[in-house]
Amino acid sequence: MGKKIADRRVRRTREFLQSALVALIVERGYDAVTVQDVLDRANVGRSTFYAHFRDKEDLLLSGAEKLWKQFEEHFASAAVTNETPWMLSLAMFEHAAEQRALYRALSGKQGGNIALQHIQKKLYVSVRDHLKAQAPKRKKGFPPDLLAHYIISSFIAVLTWWLDNDASYTPAQMNEFYRQLVQPGVEQIFPVHA
């Protein structure tokens, strides 16, 4: 089955490109990186690049997707006891700690915000659906989409602050900060113990 081998080659090329992009983003920031730069770094021909990715953003998002997959595995394995939503945020802080360089590259000013927005959207959908499923509980009059948007935006805010200020807090501490900020307000609007 030549296909399998071919796949191996293909995967190798894709990974070269992804790492090259990440490395270059770390060095000079997403916007300053040229497709040609990536090609040179990855020792890959121009046509090969475009055979695999539509453009630079596509390559970046493929990296974000990979990261997300990785996170889902991490979450699945770690959070056997994900009884509360705070386990999810904790898992993400932990994962970010493990892959700090990658997270930094994909977030904030450096990453052009594109990758993290991609992940943020996934998280938002997930939270929104979770809330919708428990609709009756919600305090009347408060737009649920806004609540979801707030929960995720706040999380991303805390996460990026952590990444951008390479403070030496542990994932557990960060999660605690996040919980302290967000839980009181949310519980009043959406009383879990109703």
Partner DNA sequence: TCCTAAGCGAGACGGTACGTCTTGTCTTCCA
Partner DNA sequence: TGGAAGACAAGACGTACCGTCTCGCTTAGGA
Binding site for its own copies (CB under 8 A): 113, 142-143, 145-147, 149-150, 153-154, 156-158, 161, 165, 167, 169, 177, 180-186, 188-189
User: To the nearest whole angstrom, how small is the minimum distance from the Cβ of residue 52 to DNA?
Assistant: 6
106-135 binders of DNA (CB under 7 A): none
48 binds, among DNA, its own copies, none (CB under 5 to 8 A by kind): DNA
As a whole number of Å, the end-to-end CA separation of the chain is 58
Print burial letters for 38-60: b (CB count within 10 Å at least 16), e (below 16).
bbebbebeeebbeeebeebeebb
The 10 Å Cβ neighbour count of residue 167 is 10
| C-beta closer to its own copies: residue 77 or 180 | 180
Q: Is residue 45 a contact point for DNA (CB under 7 A)?
A: yes
Q: What is the DSSP letter of 79?
A: -
Tokens of 16: 């070269």
- List the one residue from 27, 28, 51, 84 that touches DNA (CB under 7 A): 51
CB 162 within 8 A of CB 103: no
User: To the nearest whole angstrom, how small is the minimum distance from the Cβ of residue 5 to its own copies?
Assistant: 16
